[in-house]
Amino acid sequence: MPASDLFDLTNKVAFITGGNGGIGLGIAKGFVRQGASVAIAARNKGKMQAALGELTALKGKAIAVECDVTSKASVQEAVEEAARHLGGLDILVNNSGTSRRAPELQDLSQDDFEYVVDVNLNSVHRVSVAAFPHMKARGGGKVINIGSMMSVFGSPYASAYSASKGGVVQYTKSCAIAWAKYNIQVNCILPGWVHTDMTDAFLKMFPDRQAEIVKRTPAGRWAQPDEMAGPAVFLASKASGFVTGAAIAVDGGFSVSP
């Protein structure tokens, strides 16, 4: 098989939660460039239209569907709408995420903790279950869950985020085992420090961490959202046909640096 065919996503349909910005949009751009049709799903209509403009500028086929990942009904409706308009579903990217921070974990309210877990972890189950019948009908599929380097690290100021992203990795492993018989591969990407709206908010709260993070990162810098596209294309393509249950760090070496 020619190398170019390994990563070809022509005639594939992808559904990306939180696809209207940051890592989700970076991945959507990568998919479109490889020939996939993409549905970006999110709540902010303004951001969705702006993201849709960027995708169509790449001559790709893309639609935007409104979706609240904390609502089972909203998730089901969004997945069905995307499959109906694009002719099915082959690839799912569970990317929606949020964080609520506090100086120390005892300062984080129970409501904030539960909200973060609902958005970051519970939604992965909601969306995966909604997408499953469509992938099964196609004879297989690819699920890519977006974890975090915090999936393996603890965090005193982002305890809910760390706990939820750790859960995403374990859910990925369970799903990979359960769905292997349906030819559905399920994997997880663990981004490091990436410039997004969420991390910009983190730096406003903890401005001293910028220099510390760069110093610890062997690559000597933060990532841009588009740099998550390469690993995602790999996990969405034929190239990863025997890869399932994996959690791949994409962090410039931060997780292996002392």
pLDDT at residue 2, rounded to an integer? 52
Give me the active site residues, please: 161
DSSP output for 26-73 = HHHHHHHHTT-EEEEEES-HHHHHHHHHHHHHTT--EEEEE--TT-HH
pLDDT in tens, 16-53: 999 999 999 999 999 999 999 999 999 998 999 999 99
CATH node for 3-249? 3.40.50.720
pLDDT in tens, 140-157: 999 999 999 999 988 888
pLDDT in tens, 68-122: 999 999 999 999 999 999 999 999 999 999 999 888 889 999 999 999 999 999 9
pLDDT in tens, 189-230: 999 989 887 777 777 777 888 888 899 999 999 999 999 999
Give the CA angle between residues 143, 148, 149 to the nearest 5°. 135
This prediction has a pTM of 0.94
